[in-house]
Structure 1
Amino acid sequence: MSDLFFFGTLRHLPLLETVIGHDLSDITLSEASFADHQIHWADGHAFPLLVASPGEAAVGLLARGLSAEDVARLDYYEQVFDFDLIWTEVTENGVSRRVQMFWPPKTGHTPGPLFQLEDWAPKWGDINTRAAVEVMRHRGHKTAAEVGAMYGMIHVRASAHVAAQAENPVLGPSGMQASDVVNRDISIPYANFFALEERALRFRRFDGSLSEEVERAIFLSGDAALVLPYDPVRDRVLLVEQVRMGPLARGDHGPWQLEPIAGRVDPGETPLDAAHREAREEAGLELSHLHVIHEGYPSPGTSSEFFYTYLGIADLPDEAARLGGVDGEHEDIKGHIYDFDTVMAMLDRGDIRVVPLALALHWLARNRETMRTGA
């Protein structure tokens, strides 16, 4: 059996249980301290740093009685973040103990304020715990380095899952819900920027019985915020054009598509925050107000992706049609401005082939006079 000292987020017990794969009933937990160090926030980030601080002590969690498999699972998880398992000395109840701990890599991050787990947990605890579920599913299939390279998108998918769990349930007329699905096996045969999940499951039928076991594949993505910028004074919209892999893979002659502004909702970010950020990144726009058009699934039969779609009130002079995008994401985006009648004629002709944009334009057509009143 092994004793490990944790100074960071693994002190969050649901996260620790997820990583080791069982509850903590056989593990002894106590407070201990690591001399000449303190725990700080990484400035601008959602994780802690261990900072040398002579005469101070980093107070953490000592877990005693961990099995070899527990340590192996913990080591895999921490290697995702380039932590190394080392031997060190900590103090427990005034007694020095030789234990193991995970030593963080040199990152170059600037230390922020002192880190308190109780400040971190309300915003990040559930997200990081959910992310750990996917991380540990990759054990035995991907190296820790491979998982580390895609952890950003794992975090995005985890954030979307937590957001779904926090919503007020919206059930179909039958009243059936997630508990009416029995999962026997869940695996992730492919994961990179996106992921593919396979499930072997049975589901409740409308006659009350359970179905035979079926296999289903789901395209895993995060949540996204979409914005149709509208200038109610000039009565015009801004659409963005960029190359899209979906039409390209389908064999479409025109993979460059007109769309609303769109982008993923990052972990810790609200959909409204994401909408404003994406408007700045993709089109250089500052939105004065956002109106909710719709919140829902664009393709629930195959994808977990969830869209928060908005009409964004903006000032759209001719020069607002510009090139945009984030260089680091290899985006090449061109803005186009159309007056209302022109864009609706394009929709009627079938020139607009992106369904969320069609939805947003139909919403605008129904609410246009209200939007223009007092503008």
Structure 2
Amino acid sequence: MTATTNLFLYGTLRDPELLGIVAGSSPSGRQATLADHAVFWAKGEAFPIIASQPGSHTEGILIEADPTQKAGLDYYELDFGYMLVDATFSVGAEQIDGQLYVPKPKKWEIGELWSLSEWQAQHGALAREAAVEYMRLQPWLSAADAGRVFSQIRSRAFSRIRARKSPSPQVPGTTYAAADVLISKTSQPYTDYFAVREDWLQFPRYDGSLSRAVKRASFLGGDAVTVLPFDPKTEKVLAIQQFRHGALVRGDTNPWCLEPPAGRIDPGETAEEAALRELSEEAGLLANSLLKIAEYYPTSGAFSEHLTSFIARCDLDGRDAFVGGVKGEAEDILSHVMPLADLLEMCRTGQANTGPLIMSALWLEANRHTLGTE
């Protein structure tokens, strides 16, 4: 008979869907209480911590985790500042010994009393989606290495949530959907700021048959924005220039690229909020207004990144040669202010050779006469 471990779950793992993702299956469990403890929000964070509080009782579930389930739960908890401790729990009139995950001493400050339903409403969807990718890494990465890139995992999870909420419109005459793709195996051999996902799959063909089993790989990234600043008074624009590793590894001898200000949409942000933040961080600008150009995949065959591009009405006086960027991210970004006509000529000659900048410049050329009065 396989040995099991009694584990008391008092926080986010009381969410049945999250528990199933982390444990790999749903362990059997019973309602239980822990005396003289209470559960609080970790101050400024989106998760709970348990702390001693004489006279209080913490409600939870006591599960019997088999070794595989226990390994998954340890992988999810122990390298995020938690540790396992022994305790005795009440299950009805019975006292049962077991363990629970508690925060390491002085790891976080205590906030308000925590609520499972409040957490589920505010943070549950993102936590579950992030856990899917995080637990996929268990065969390849240590928990410490996976935890190091957890912010990137959350960014990609937020991208998937956004995709489900706003799927691409169907092209007339086609009816296929993601559910029609049969995936037999998924792996993620590389995970960091970006990740690489490999799938063995079959997809529906236009003749109604299924393709043979094929291997496909894509870069995984978060959703992002681009924003081209435009001054309607002077008909000038601002483009930024910075070192780009992608151009370097392609072999380009000039890997300093012209682009619009751009960056990822952080979890919980709207595309508009991200555009305004990136405009400030990279170019030191405040926008008078934003106009959305389009939402699109720049390289759908190889990269999951989905862009939303904007034009920002701005005052560009004195902004040429401004150097911006977030110091903690090792950014070094030079601003160039120029007439729109000059940017269009740079697109023609290839001096401007990044897709979002070319697309934004062409859109602006077609629509600029309306931007000063809207």
TM-score (normalised: structure 2): 0.93
**C-alpha displacement at 1:233, in angstroms?**
2.0
Aligned-partner Cα distance in 2 for 1:137–1:102: 22
Is the 1:123–1:268 contact (alpha carbons within 8 Å) kept by the matching residues of 2? no
Aligned length in residues: 370
Partner of 2:143: 144
**C-alpha displacement at 1:319, in angstroms?**
3.5
Is the 2:89–2:98 contact (alpha carbons within 8 Å) kept by the matching residues of 1? yes
Change in Cα spacing, 1:42 to 1:350, as seen in structure 2 (3 Å) is same
Partner of 1:369: 369
**C-alpha displacement at 1:106, in angstroms?**
4.1
Aligned-partner Cα distance in 1 for 2:322–2:205: 52
**C-alpha displacement at 1:2, in angstroms?**
2.9
Deviations 1:56-110 (A, max 9, x none): 3443x21333222211211111124132222113344465432211122346443
Partner of 1:309: 309
Change in Cα spacing, 1:316 to 1:86, as seen in structure 2 (3 Å) is same
Task: Please identify, of 344-353 and 183-192, the stretch whose mean Cα deviation from structure 2 is larger.
Answer: 344-353
**C-alpha displacement at 1:150, in angstroms?**
1.0
Partner of 1:342: 342
Deviations 1:20-67 (A, max 9, x none): 112x3x61342x3333433222333222233443433443x2133322
Identity %: 38
Letter in 1 for 2:61: L
Partner of 1:209: 209
* 3-state SS of 1:127 partner: helix
Aligned-partner Cα distance in 1 for 2:312–2:89: 55
Partner of 1:325: 325
Change in Cα spacing, 1:107 to 1:348, as seen in structure 2 (3 Å) is farther
**C-alpha displacement at 1:213, in angstroms?**
0.6
Task: Please identify, of 344-353 and 181-190, the stretch whose mean Cα deviation from structure 2 is larger.
Answer: 344-353
Partner of 1:56: 56
* 3-state SS of 1:299 partner: coil
**C-alpha displacement at 1:235, in angstroms?**
1.9
Letter in 1 for 2:169: V
Task: Please identify, of 207-216 and 306-315, the stretch whose mean Cα deviation from structure 2 is larger.
Answer: 306-315
Aligned-partner Cα distance in 2 for 1:330–1:258: 18
Aligned-partner Cα distance in 2 for 1:112–1:165: 33
Partner of 2:5: 2
1:177 aligns with 2:177: yes
Is the 2:30–2:91 contact (alpha carbons within 8 Å) kept by the matching residues of 1? no
Aligned-partner Cα distance in 1 for 2:8–2:128: 19
1:219-368 pair list within 5 angstroms? 219-319=219-319, 321-368=321-368
1:187-202 pair list within 5 angstroms? 187-202=187-202
Change in Cα spacing, 1:324 to 1:106, as seen in structure 2 (3 Å) is farther
Change in Cα spacing, 1:358 to 1:106, as seen in structure 2 (3 Å) is farther
Partner of 1:127: 126
Deviations 1:226-275 (A, max 9, x none): 11111222322111111001110111121101111111111122222211
In structure 1, runs of 5+ residues without a counterpart are: none
* 3-state SS of 2:80 partner: coil
Deviations 1:95-152 (A, max 9, x none): 5432211122346443333221222222321221121111211112211111111111
Letter in 2 for 1:12: D
Letter in 2 for 1:28: G
* 3-state SS of 2:229 partner: strand
Aligned-partner Cα distance in 2 for 1:63–1:114: 21
TM-score (normalised: structure 1): 0.93
